[in-house]
Amino acid sequence: MLDFIRIACAVPPVRVGDTRKNAEEICRMLASADEQQADLLVLPELSLTGYTCQDLFFQDALYRGMLEGLSEIVKASAVHSGVTLVVGVPLRCGGQMYNCGAVIGGGRIHCLVPKTYIPNYNEFYEKRWFSSGVSCREDSVTLKLPGFGPMEVPVFKQGLVRLGEGTLLGVEICEDLWTPVPPSSLLALSGAEVIVNLSASNETIGKQAYRRDLVKHQSAAASCIYAYASAGAGESTQDLIFSGQCLIAQNGALLGETEEPIVSETLLIRDCDLGQIRADRRKNKCFADNAYVLSGVTGTKIVDASMPALRSDGTLQKVEKLPFVPAAQTDRFDRCMEIFRMQVAGLAHRLEIVGSKAVVGISGGLDSTLALLVAVEAMRVLGRPASHVYGVTMPCYGTSDRTYRNSLELMEKLGVTAKEVNIRQAVGLHFADIGHDKSVLNGTYENAQARERTQILMDYASVVGGIVIGTGDLSELALGWCTYNGDHMSMYGVNASIPKTLIRWMIAAIADSPAFADAKPVLEDILDTPISPELLPPDASGKISQYTEDLVGPYALHDFFLYYMLRFGFAPTKIYTLACRAFAGDFTPEVIKKWMKAFYRRFFTQQFKRSCLPDGVKVGSVCLSPRGDWRMPSDASGRLWLEELETL
């Protein structure tokens, strides 16, 4: 199952008090939402009558017109039976009038949800007309809609509606969201995965940004999908203006928003990922604990809408190719520098505690470059000279002229203490000791070089009184693309939770920093250098002959697989589907499947390397530290994952 729901937030053109016209517009919006395969349609507060009717709410004619309009909407819902819609209506019940959301689908009204918190301050005067839902003593109301017999409809002060195959929907109305403990918080703790808000929030300076932040925050705090539809410019402008702002957020991330600042009509549709919500709730035990603590006040009533299975296949969801990298350039730069500061803070504190210098192996590649930049900045933070960082370059059989020159130039520009140790002779002696023919370019040939480099770094750290700074990144750890007790080992790993796809952008951002201006040209050349472990000899022209991504696959794909597997626990089928959409035009489905198999095989067989990782600061939502985010037996089988891939 892909676990998507397609939500539409609609602002129909409202004519205040004209319920027949408003019902026609709502039915038109319903048809449009159905045509676009929406599962859920959310309309603004009191959308059937208009929010700004004021004392007209007391008029029998308006109420009779509302019932007639509601009847037409219920009839239309039988035609467009794949959509559940929530419409704002006034309700007379038990001698009072309530501002309600009517949940409708399949030709019937499933329930009515009254507004809990009635604003009566500044420009709001709702208590003149409406009572709070908490005062409603009736559990149901009998509605007499034209064309229907008497209809007994549940009235939910705190309840849920079951959609499709089990998705739970909660409803709140406008001011409810603005309270210290919104009803949606309790609804979410009762199981609601989707919250809708029918609103009529008037426009004032800065209010759109405030509402946006409010919706994003509540979707994060309640770990839910939150859809918000507000009244548009068709409402009365006697004293107020309404903008028609619609918002759809998922667990703190804004999925969509009305583009124009003020609209009288709009339809915002987005696919939302229920799988992400469910994964986060399973993982976050505090969510379940909070639900238990508040079990006495959370809603327990559930009405089954008996709707068909949700139709969304997620094709409207924007799937980023690089989930670890912000798409917007400004956000990307800020994110990279924030991570850099976290790396620096972690290393600076470690160096301060142990009172040592930093030793970094420099290869001229991306990972060691970032580690060196972090070490230099950490020394600056500590008020120590860059010379307290010892950069060690260790050329051997696979070192190319380009990376060798870049290593030396980078250390010179940064002002670190540079040391060169050519390890060809030492590795040759080691080959002789273990009886390996150095003309055989196998794993022994490569691993011996990596372990010799680590031995030199560790012993040289003892000489200068320093600690070895690890350079390996998150992507390499996921694939096990490191030599056990070689580049796998250090005394503090600054890149351990940073994926390869992000490291490139981080170096680019740091290169633009005034503090590293002198090193910018060499940093740009390093960014332009192909990714390689340089453990096999260069070609005849001295250029790199061994390309990592030819061997293990594109890091863009592996980072994508890693993110969705670890962050949400998605099954191979869903990850494959998302990958095919994200990388359409870049990789064929066959290529994606090939490297996905390689990812799962390597991920499961290489856990033993991750089980004994050195310390390293966590900077993002995905980490493989055995002391942090990921605990897995080293001998676990990946059979189920690989077999599922074979079915695709």
Question: Are 549 and 637 contained in the same domain?
Answer: yes
Residue indicated by tokens 């009517």: 102
Residue 634: Cβ within 10 Å count? 14
Regarding whether 355 and 271 lie in a shared domain, the answer is no
Does 454 reside within a domain?
A: yes
> What's at 452, amino acid-wise?
E
Judge whether residue 531 has pLDDT over 80. no
- The catalytically annotated residue of 45, 72, 172, 446 is 45
Confidence of residue 294 (pLDDT cuts 50, 70, 90): confident
pLDDT tens digits, residue range 81-114? 999 999 999 999 999 999 999 999 999 999 999 9
Q: Is 623 a catalytic residue?
A: no
pLDDT, tens only, 155-189: 988 889 999 888 999 999 999 999 999 999 999 99
Predicted confidence at residue 404, as pLDDT, reads 94
Cβ burial of 457 (10 Å; 0-12, 13-18, 19+) is buried
Residue 313 lies inside a defined structural domain of this protein:
no
Could you tell me if residue 324 is inside a domain?
no
Distance CA 184, CA 194 (A): 9
pLDDT for residue 549: 83
pLDDT at 535 over 70: no
Q: Are residues 347 and 488 in the same domain?
A: yes
**Residue 84 maps to a domain:** yes
What pTM did the predictor assign? Answer: 0.92
CATH code of the domain in which 61 resides: 3.60.110.10
Phi-psi region of 529 (alpha: psi -120 to 50; beta: other; left: phi over 0): beta
Tell me, what's the pLDDT at 300? 67
Domain that holds residue 115: 4-304
Active site residue 53: no
Asked if residue 12 lies in contact with residue 22, where contact means CB atoms within 8 angstroms, the answer is yes
Q: Give burial (CB, 10 Å; 0-12/13-18/19+) of 439.
A: exposed
Res. 530 pLDDT band, cuts 50 70 90: confident
pLDDT of residue 6: 97
Side chain identity, residue 15:
R
Residue 318 belongs to a domain: no
CA-nearest of 323, 364, 642 to 475 is: 323
CATH number at residue 446: 3.40.50.620
300 and 335 within one domain: no
Shared domain for 491 and 638, answered yes or no, is yes
* pLDDT of the residue at 545: 64
Domain boundary among 289, 304, 319: 304
Query: Is residue 462 located within the same domain as residue 550?
Result: yes
Work out the burial of residue 105: count CB atoms within 10 Å of its CB; fewer than 13 is exposed, 13-18 middle, 19 or more buried: buried
Does the residue 315 lie in any domain?
no
What is the enclosing helix (H) or strand (E) of 327?
none
Res 534 pLDDT > 70 = no
Looking at the structure, do residues 342 and 300 belong to the same domain, yes or no?
no
In a domain, 360, yes or no: yes
As a whole number of angstroms, the distance between CA 385 and CA 416 comes to 8
CA distances from 636 to 283, 512, 607 (A): 20, 44, 9
DSSP one-letter code for 138: -
- Please count the structural domains in the chain: 2
Task: Identify the band that residue 543 occupies on the pLDDT scale cut at 50, 70 and 90.
Answer: confident
Q: Which of 72, 111, 115, 623 is catalytic?
A: 115
Looking at the structure, do residues 207 and 64 belong to the same domain, yes or no?
yes
- 9 as an active site residue: the answer is no
* Cα–Cα distance for residue pair 572/643, rounded to 1 Å: 10
Q: Answer whether 341's CB lies under 8 Å from 377's CB.
A: no
**Whether residue 243 has pLDDT greater than 90:** yes
Could you tell me if 106 and 77 are in contact, meaning their C-beta atoms sit under 8 angstroms apart? yes
How high does pLDDT run on average in the chain?
A: 94
Query: For residues 66 and 49, is the Cβ–Cβ distance under 8 A?
Result: yes
Same domain, 519 and 637: yes
Q: How far apart are CA 536 and CA 544, in angstroms?
A: 9
Helix, strand, coil shares, percent, the chain, to 5 = 45, 20, 40
